[in-house]
């Protein structure tokens, strides 16, 4: 049989070589065509700037709702630059073009911007304002900067205005050159809105509106304007499909003391849903009328606005005689603190998600071990893992685009495999898989790394250090109200001790059948430890330390955790983390000698819980895989 296996391997290798040659030729042709198109788009933008008398044009990664993930209509930065990351600011002048982004995207941006005149401008974190400093330093007094106020956050607009005014540089907020240069700009999405209902919606729309009005009353506001899509979806118990992976819909909302107005595209809300909204005092109005409604507020009225979650354009629309109170959206706090009924649903969703992953890995690992198999590439991972989740009850969609990176591609933090350029998974190394699902009862986000062939001792060391970081923070207790960014160093400590660091935050808030990234809590050194970042019971946050060696491999291990009260002492209330994610952490790449006894105990206790919770939900090969991967280590 050995000669047949050798022949099969040789034939497979020959096919890969031929496929590689064909792909290289196709890639070269596509690359040349794309570069021409990108250069033409930039030239068109510069011509429009010249006609409008604009010296610098700023294009943030944003929309009128300051969303992280955007509908196609507002992906202008991606269309102009070719950089597809979710965070970045594009700036063009007559002689310069650049994209400012953070460490999560350095490798990706270098690849996607290669061959163009567009420079990668590296910033230390997503909240950095280095592009503002660059504008102030590189433009001359009397010159002008333009940005569309409809997609520029109010807080960012104020910093930009202050920096440019100090240099006597004019800021124009009334210009949208995209409409002029983007001839095939996508239309606004028109998907229908639907209700999130019991038992998954655990608090009624009526009660959520009442709680919001109580918070308004507390600051003396008779009106409250909301633009952020997850806040709106939460408050009205509605969901949609206007943004990929996030079950939200385009809308603004104006809340009054007795009623509310939801500004949404005509025809998006079905008649039966509209009737139930009206019964709760919620009236519908055209999406485009939100700014007009703000300008029509009566003199002397008091309006609550969140300066971090509203655009400069909407703020400018507020009538001059209106008193404005600036504070965080009450719904941002409310939706971050999951109640016990929501926690029960999330635990059930995690069990279904974990069972789906057992089926996926039980299918995947034999494929990777079969030397005679057809080549398996990174794109296939997304197909298989989504199919496994889709077989589970109450699954709606992935919660983000699956990241499957083998060896060097794993070092690209937000890597997305494409069929024409993805890696074939063969040989020795590590496969990083970051994926998640949207379920009616919760949102999941998990990263696991599995060995392919025989990982090196260096890879095992890195893997174990990342695991130590995960365990370190997962085991921590801390005073209630601790600012979330202050916890970041706890996960990094074992990694720092080895002289290593990673270029992203350790954790982000996670929604309840909502955005996979939500605030206000963020475990990250790049986020100021402001009061609104305080950790409170019921918050769900990721813990995801990593190590990335560009061109070689990347490792990240991620669980979601729930804040819970664990103790009350004379020094106050203390919180701890309940680990929600249920999926074995592969022990094969662990360098056992690097783990302390308490760390081994944590890992074994976690695996015992995973086995107990998931075993009733799986059978056959999936059960066998679960039992094998949760053996005492």
Q: What is the pLDDT of residues 354-390, one digit of tens each?
A: 999 999 999 999 998 876 677 889 999 999 999 999 9
Non-local (6+) Cβ contacts of 405 within 8 A are 378, 411, 412, 415, 417, 423, 431, 432, 554
Q: Is residue 363 located within the same domain as residue 268? A: no
Structure token digits, residue 277: 């909204």
Q: What is the mean pLDDT of residues 238-267?
A: 96
Read off the pLDDT of each residue in 219-224 and give the average, rounded to a whole number.
97
Which residue, chain included where needed, has tokens 């002048």?
A: 93
Distance of CA 399 to the CA centre of its chain: 9
Band of pLDDT at residue 212, cut at 50, 70 and 90: very high
* Alpha-carbon gap, residue 521 to 531, rounded angstroms: 10
Question: What pLDDT score does 126 carry?
Answer: 59
Q: Work out the mean pLDDT of the chain and round it to a whole number.
A: 92
**More confident of the two residues 625 and 114:** 625
294 and 425 fall within a common domain: no
Q: Which residue has the tokens 């391997």?
A: 9
Tokens 């060097």 map to which residue? Answer: 408
**Is the dihedral angle over the CA atoms 393, 340, 583, 500 positive or is it negative?**
positive
Same domain, 605 and 535: yes
Regarding whether 580 and 453 lie in a shared domain, the answer is yes
What is the structure's pLDDT at 10?
A: 47
Rounded CA separation 74/59 (Å)? 10
* Residues 217 and 99 both lie in one domain: no
> Which residue is it, tokens 């952490």?
585
Q: What are phi and psi of 296, to 5 degrees?
A: -95, 0
Q: In which domain, by residue range, is 79 found? A: 12-181
pLDDT over 60 (residue 147):
yes
Instruction: Kindly provide the b/e burial profile for residues 556-577, where b requires at least 16 CB atoms within 10 angstroms of the residue's own CB.
Output: bbbbbbbbeeeeeeeeeebbbb
The token duo for 220 is: 């003396």
Asked whether residue 1 is assigned to any structural domain, the reply reads no
Is residue 406 pLDDT above 60, yes or no?
Answer: yes
Domain membership of residue 464 (yes or no) is yes
Buried b (16+ CB within 10 A) or exposed e, 170-197: bbebebebbeebbeeeeeebeeebebbe
Phi, psi of 289 (to 5 degrees): -90, 5
211 shares its domain with 92: no
Residue 505 sits at the vertex; the CA angle it makes with 503 and 506, to the nearest 5 degrees, is: 115
CATH number at residue 205: 3.40.350.10
pTM confidence score: 0.90
Q: Do 461 and 359 have their domain in common?
A: yes
The pLDDT value recorded for residue 375 is 80
Flag whether 6 is in a domain: no
Alpha-carbon torsion, ordered 416, 418, 421, 426, to 10 deg: 70
229-236 helix and 205-218 helix, angle to the nearest 10 degrees: 120
DSSP H helices, 53-118, are 76-81, 106-113
Q: Are residues 551 and 413 in the same domain?
A: yes
Higher pLDDT, 469 or 127: 469
Residue 186 lies in a domain: no
Tell me if 567 is assigned to some domain.
yes
- CATH assignment at residue 541: 3.90.230.10
* pLDDT at residue 444 in the model: 98
The secondary structure element, H or E, covering residue 591 is none
Query: Average of pLDDT values for 154-178?
Result: 93
Are 219 and 176 part of one and the same domain?
no
CA distance 596 to 599: 5
Computed over its alpha carbons, how large is the radius of gyration of the chain?
25
Q: CB 384: neighbour CB atoms within 10 A?
A: 17
Same domain, 351 and 262: no
Measured at the CA of 605, the angle between CA 367 and CA 345, to 5 degrees, comes to: 80
Burial of 603 (C-beta count, 10 Å sphere; 0-12/13-18/19+): buried
Check whether residue 403 and residue 522 sit in a common domain. Answer: yes
Summarised one tens digit per residue, pLDDT across range 115-140 is 899 999 998 865 678 999 999 999 99
DSSP 429: E
**DSSP assignment, residue 358?**
H
Output the CA–CA distances (angstroms, integers) from residue 360 to 36, 353, 601, in the order listed: 41, 10, 27
Q: Are strands 97-101 and 119-122 parallel, antiparallel or unpaired?
A: parallel
DSSP class of 411? G
Q: Are strands 553-556 and 546-549 parallel, antiparallel or unpaired?
A: antiparallel
Question: Of 133, 157, 181, which residue is a domain's last?
Answer: 181
The verdict on residue 586 lying in a domain is: yes
Q: pLDDT by residue (tens digit) across 34-90?
A: 889 999 999 999 999 999 999 999 999 999 999 988 999 999 999 999 999 888 999
| Backbone angles phi and psi of 95, in degrees to 5 | -125, 5
Contacts of 424 by beta carbon, 8 Å cutoff, 6+ apart:
16, 375, 376, 377, 406
Q: So what's the pLDDT on residue 374?
A: 75
Look at residues 282, 307, 334 and tell me which one is the last residue of a structural domain. 334
Any domain includes 202: yes
In this model, does residue 15 exceed pLDDT 70? no
Q: Which DSSP letter does residue 325 get?
A: E
Q: Do 482 and 608 fall within a single domain?
A: yes
Distance of alpha carbon 303 from alpha carbon 309, whole angstroms: 14
Of 334, 362, 378, which one is at a domain's C-terminal end?
334
Please state, in angstroms and as integers, the Cα–Cα distance from residue 301 to each residue in 4, 222, 323, 438, 440, following that order: 82, 7, 6, 40, 38
CA distances for 32 relative to 38, 115, 415, 416, 420, angstroms:
10, 9, 22, 21, 15
pLDDT given at position 7: 43
Largest Cα–Cα distance in the chain? 88
Cβ(576)–Cβ(476) below 8 Å:
yes
| Number of independent structural domains in the chain | 3
Distance of alpha carbon 511 from the chain centroid: 11
> CA 436 to CA 360: how far, in whole Å?
13
Q: Distance (Å, rounded) from C-alpha 544 to C-alpha 563?
A: 16
Give the integer Cα–Cα distance in Å for 622 and 391: 14
Q: Kindly tell me if the per-residue pLDDT of 1 is higher than 70.
A: no
- Domain contains 352: yes
């Amino acid at each position: 049989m050995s000669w047949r296996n050798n022949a099969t391997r040789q034939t497979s290798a020959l096919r890969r070589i031929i496929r590689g040659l064909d792909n290289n030729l196709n890639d070269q042709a596509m690359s040349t065509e794309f570069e021409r198109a990108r250069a033409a788009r930039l030239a068109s933008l510069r011509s429009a700037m010249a006609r409008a008398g604009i010296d610098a044009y700023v294009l943030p990664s944003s929309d009128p709702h300051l969303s992280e993930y955007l509908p196609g209509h507002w992906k202008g930065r991606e269309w102009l630059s070719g950089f597809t990351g979710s965070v970045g600011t594009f700036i063009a002048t007559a002689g310069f073009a650049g994209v400012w982004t953070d460490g999560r995207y350095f490798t990706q941006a270098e690849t996607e911007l290669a061959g163009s005149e567009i420079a990668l401008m590296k910033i230390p974190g997503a909240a950095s304002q280095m592009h503002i400093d660059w504008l102030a330093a590189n433009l001359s007094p009397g010159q002008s900067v333009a940005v569309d106020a409809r997609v520029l956050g109010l807080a960012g607009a104020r910093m930009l205005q202050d920096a440019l005014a100090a240099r006597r540089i004019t800021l124009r907020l009334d210009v949208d050159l995209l409409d002029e240069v983007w001839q095939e700009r996508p239309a606004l999405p028109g998907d229908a809105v639907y209700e999130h209902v019991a038992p998954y919606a655990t608090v009624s729309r009526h009660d959520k509106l009442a709680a919001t009005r109580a918070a308004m009353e507390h600051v003396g506001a008779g009106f409250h304007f909301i633009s952020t899509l997850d806040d709106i979806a939460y408050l009205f118990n509605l969901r949609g499909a206007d943004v990929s992976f996030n079950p939200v819909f385009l809308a603004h909302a104006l809340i009054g003391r007795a009623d509310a107005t939801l500004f949404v595209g005509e025809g998006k809300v079905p008649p039966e849903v509209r009737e139930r909204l009206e019964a709760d005092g919620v009236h519908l109005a055209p999406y485009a009328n939100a700014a007009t409604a703000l300008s029509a507020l009566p003199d002397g009225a008091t309006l609550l606005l969140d300066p971090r979650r509203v655009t400069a354009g909407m703020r400018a629309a507020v009538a001059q005689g209106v008193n404005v109170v600036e504070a965080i959206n009450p719904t941002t706090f409310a939706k971050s603190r999951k109640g016990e009924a929501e926690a029960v649903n999330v635990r059930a969703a995690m069990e279904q998600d974990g069972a789906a992953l057992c089926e996926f890995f039980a299918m995947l690992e034999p494929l990777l071990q079969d030397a005679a198999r057809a080549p398996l590439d990174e794109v296939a991972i997304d197909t298989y893992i989504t199919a496994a989740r889709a077989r589970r009850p109450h699954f709606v969609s992935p919660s983000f685009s699956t990241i499957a990176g083998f060896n060097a591609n794993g070092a690209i933090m937000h890597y997305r495999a494409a069929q024409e350029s993805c890696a074939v998974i063969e040989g020795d190394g590590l496969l990083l898989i970051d994926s998640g699902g949207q379920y009616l009862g919760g949102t999941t986000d998990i990263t696991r790394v599995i060995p392919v062939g025989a990982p090196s001792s260096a890879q095992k060391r890195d893997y174990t250090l990342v695991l130590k970081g995960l365990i370190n923070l997962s085991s921590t207790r801390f005073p209630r109200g601790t600012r979330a960014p202050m916890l970041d160093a706890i996960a990094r400590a074992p990694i720092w001790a080895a002289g290593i660091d990673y270029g992203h935050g350790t954790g982000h808030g996670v929604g309840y059948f909502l955005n996979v990234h939500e605030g206000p809590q963020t475990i990250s050194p790049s986020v100021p430890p402001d009061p609104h970042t305080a950790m409170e019971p019921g918050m769900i946050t990721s813990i995801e330390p990593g190590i990335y060696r560009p061109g070689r491999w990347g490792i990240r291990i991620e669980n979601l955790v729930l804040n819970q009260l664990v103790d009350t002492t004379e020094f106050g209330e203390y919180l701890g983390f309940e680990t929600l994610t249920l999926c074995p952490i592969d022990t094969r790449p662990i360098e056992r000698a690097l783990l302390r006894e308490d760390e081994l105990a944590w890992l074994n206790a976690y695996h015992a819980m995973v086995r107990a919770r998931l075993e009733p939900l799986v059978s056959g090969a999936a059960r066998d895989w679960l039992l094998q991967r949760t053996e005492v280590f």
